[in-house]
Structure 1
């Protein structure tokens, strides 16, 4: 990501040339993954041979490489300012743990009333709040990195504490109250905790230590002006690698069941668009400013797909409809949230007061 945007969360900036062509790179990564899966039928078993919890090791590596540079950019000495922003904290908790899961529940029943496995998979996706890829989208959209790091940490804590209880509520208790069929599911506390510790804990500790040690040895100017520009592109490399592996692993299933994928994709697209829009409007109304408003919207709209997939596979099996819904989640989320990056940048120049707005025209 462009180092020019690091000076201030509210500072004007522009997408780097590499970032501006990200849609092209993502399409290439998707096509490469599909081609690899089609040309090498045994590749999936090789990629799945070693796992971190229930997630393929190559995907785990890609996620860690993707998240580490972004977390190394966070100025951790500013985190206390984010925690002191009660409006942001409360809005994030309400959007992430009340409105978003409830909205996904409604969408699942509206769009998939006759497909209980896919419906359950969507509900699980809605419960898995984002702790990984959201950092990429937030960074591309010039969101507040410190706020993103704090909100992701907040989501991780609630994920460990509340995921099982909310799963019971939305799959058993609430459907029973409404006279709808219920789904029995046991959620592994170990799986949820492992997902948080691996996919957030490792890159967070690495990013914090990198900044702390780097600034002590060389100073902040060297760290941000010389080190971060060299480290930054690895976030994009990790993202593209993860997308390639995902499509190589699941491309065959997706191509074999296109109508099912389409039916799962529609409520997901509605979910991403509506939740993101609600987050942007809420931030604007609360006067959070562009950077924190964007962070609020992305952390609410994104989902922890690695956890959703792990829970679906661990609970219902790798060939289940619930697992397919979990897999379709990130395949729809990646292009959808990339599109929302450009929507956020468009809204930035029209609905928010940003210093040096003339410098932003190139990206609108």
Structure 2
């Protein structure tokens, strides 16, 4: 049986038409934001501590997306990652030596050069700063969803994300300072620490405890064949609900500043496809297994938008062009990353012709 046939058989109704559901969720989110702005404002103000910028409803939905992924991790296999480091090295190369600098170039090319007739120079510089801030923070939470949708190796994905988080603690601010030319970049440490705890530590601990207890009490066969399948639709449904909330929170920006949103979407789209393709081809060149390459390509392209939005607001203000640029990153990322997931899945047979089976 071919790999493509296996993938097709595993897709349920929701996953098969995921692009359609994404479009519907976008429309539903904008409609909800316009029809019930007071309610959405109340939801948007629910944070894990004042100033954390970590929204409670979105965090809960992200838990529902990540928790099933964490359940699949055999924590004993984490040690094995050190024996095959090529995938991790490619991920780190793209995330830290390519992605922020490529975004700075694409922002200059499109926002300050090709679109200069529609954007005044000062606003263009602010948009560029926001895009750089967006690209300088590698994605944390949503990576586990992309890994799930591409049948990624959950243990390896966890290591890739954990190492990125450690590097981000000391590399994010200097990169932003250098590329933006901002002398006093203040990275809100509370946002960074809270986000890592909420989106990584909590679901990781819950998954570990659940897996350990149930394997001991019910055995591996029951756990893998009875318990895990119950969570199969949860990730997709939580993803769609998250999409509705994100678009509802940003309905006003979408409908009142739509032309700026369209212009900002262009460099974001280009950098996502550029960085994901670069990571994917490098993985194939170095003969990294597909279940490591796909999450690696997606990690290389996606962004830690919670942190980016918070930093942009701290530096430039909530109504600034820089903050809007980061918000557009939020709006663009989910549907675009779903398309990258589809490309990784559909190219699996091509990829594996160059990579020996593990």
Q: Which residue of 2 aligns with 1:345?
A: 345
Q: Equivalents in 2 of 1:93, 1:134: separation in Å?
A: 14
Look up the match of 1:361. none
- Which residue is equivalent to 1:88? 87
Question: Separation in 2 of the partners of 1:120 and 1:227?
Answer: 46
Shift of 1:190: 2.5
Partners of 2:196 and 2:23 lie apart in 1 by 29
Mapping 1:177-216, distance limit 5 Å:
182=182, 184-216=184-216
C-alpha RMSD of the superposition:
2.1
Identify unmatched segments of 5+ residues in structure 1: 1-8, 173-181, 358-364
Q: Is the 8 A contact 2:305 2:329 kept in 1?
A: yes
Partner residue of 1:124? 133
- Whole-angstrom CA distance in 2 between matches of 1:110 and 1:153: 33
Shift of 1:12: 4.8
Partner residue in 1 for 2:35: 39
CA change 1:208–1:315 in 2 (3 A) is: farther
Question: Could you tell me how far 1:89 is from its partner in structure 2?
Answer: 2.2
TM-score (norm 1): 0.87
| Unpaired stretches in structure 2, ≥5 consecutive residues | 113-120
Q: Which residue is equivalent to 2:228?
A: 228
The whole-number CA distance in structure 2 between the counterparts of 1:328 and 1:235 is 23
Change beyond 3 A, Cα 1:220–1:108: same
Number of the residue aligned with 2:180: 171
Structure 1 residue 183: Cα displacement: 6.5
Once the 2 structures are TM-superposed, how far is the Cα of residue 17 of structure 1 from its aligned partner?
2.7
| Contact 1:130/1:305 (<8 A) preserved | yes
Who is 2:115 aligned against? Answer: none
Structure 2 counterpart of 1:21: 17
The alignment of Structure 1 onto Structure 2 pairs a total of residues equal to 338
Corresponding residue for residue 58 of structure 1: 57
Distance 2:104 2:258 in 1: 23
| Matches of 1:354 and 1:284, distance apart in 2 | 7
Structure 2 contact 287–354 (Cα < 8 Å) conserved: no
Indicate yes or no: 2:137 matched with 1:153: no
* Cα distance per residue 1:309-357 (max 9 Å; x no partner): 22222332222222211111121111111111111112112231499x9
The yes-or-no answer on 1:101 pairing with 2:97 is no
Q: TM-score, normalised by structure 2?
A: 0.89
* Distance in 1 of aligned mates of 2:285 and 2:338: 24
The 1-side partners of 2:281 and 2:232 are apart by: 30
Partner of 1:144: 153
8 Å CA contact 1:43, 1:248 repeated in 2: no
Distance 1:68 1:314 in 2: 31
